[in-house]
Amino acid sequence: MRQLHYFPGNANLAPHMLLEEIGLPYELLLVDRDNNAHRSAAYRQLNPNGLIPVLIDGDLVLYESAAICLHLADCHPEAALAPVVGTQARAHFYKWLIHLTNTVQPEMITYFYPERMADDGAAIAQVKAHAEARLAQMFDLIEDALASGGPYLLGAQYSAVDPYLFMLARWSRMMARPARGRPHLGRYLDMLAQRPAIARAFAGEGIAAPYC
Ligand SMILES: N[C@@H](CCC(=O)N[C@@H](CS)C(=O)NCC(=O)O)C(=O)O
């Protein structure tokens, strides 16, 4: 049995969308962030970092959203969520997933928790503003990639990097230049929002459209 420990809209969104694409049964378990359940001893048994999400898959306990996405894609080749190993498409799949999880996502964390990076109010505001500016540049480059390729991030094939980008793009929705404000990204996000598995994942987390 699969279980996804989640909080609405958190880093569980991309794995959740993949679970819906795969279509096998799973259970959603709410982590009560409002009461700091992610910091509890019981939750830290699952993820010692105290971060959401965690996937339980049989006797496997797995944290890190991108690792969960890779695991789900590997275990369900019939869902075609990643290109064939050893191909150029697979290399680009790695490039995008690692860029999203290793470059864009940490900048999001800086944006949302700038008080972890500085002590006084002015410095905290500056950290947040710089993170937002860097994220805008990152979304500009993703816009360029979609402009010269598409319709998906890898081109013709939908893959796990698309839900991952959707999740991160959603997190930019309150920024001065949200991801959706760029023409190609806007059309891409509209297209993904129509995907039944994505709509089901949002519904499962109690999030209504528009998502971004
Ligand atoms: N690299 C981790 C990051 C997970 C993460 O930062 N999750 C956030 C929610 S989106 C969280 O649990 N935050 C709680 C906290 O920072 O205290 C992953 O992708 O799984």
Write the pLDDT tens digit of every residue in 64-76. 999 999 999 999 9
Same-domain status, 187 and 106: yes
Provide the token pair at 95.
């490039």
The boundaries of the domain holding residue 71 are 2-79
Distance 52 CA to ligand 1 centre (A): 5
pLDDT digit string (tens) for 180-205? Answer: 999 999 999 999 999 999 999 999 99
- Same domain? For 57 and 132 the reply is no
**Pair 99, 157 in one domain:** yes
Say whether both 159 and 184 belong to one domain: yes
* Rounded distance between C-alpha atoms, residue 179 and residue 138, angstroms: 9
End-of-domain residue from the set 79, 105, 129: 79
Ligand 1 binding pocket includes 38 (Cβ within 6 Å): yes
Do 184 and 120 touch, CB atoms closer than 8 A?
A: no
Nearest C-alpha to atom 19 of ligand 1 is from which residue?
65
Provide the pLDDT for residue 74: 98
CB 110 within 8 A of CB 127: yes
Are 170 and 153 in the same domain?
yes
Looking at the chain, the whole-number percentage of residues with pLDDT higher than 90 is 99
Ligand 1, closest atom to CA 31? 12
Q: What is the dihedral of CA 38, 24, 78, 92, to 10 degrees?
A: -20
The reply to whether 189 and 108 lie within a common domain is yes
* Number of structural domains in the chain: 2
> Residue 203 carries which DSSP code?
H
Ligand 1: distance of its center to the CA of 147 in Å?
30
Residues 156 and 115 in one domain: yes
Would you say residue 204 lies in a domain? no
pLDDT at 1: 86
**Nearest-atom index, ligand 1, CA of 66:** 19
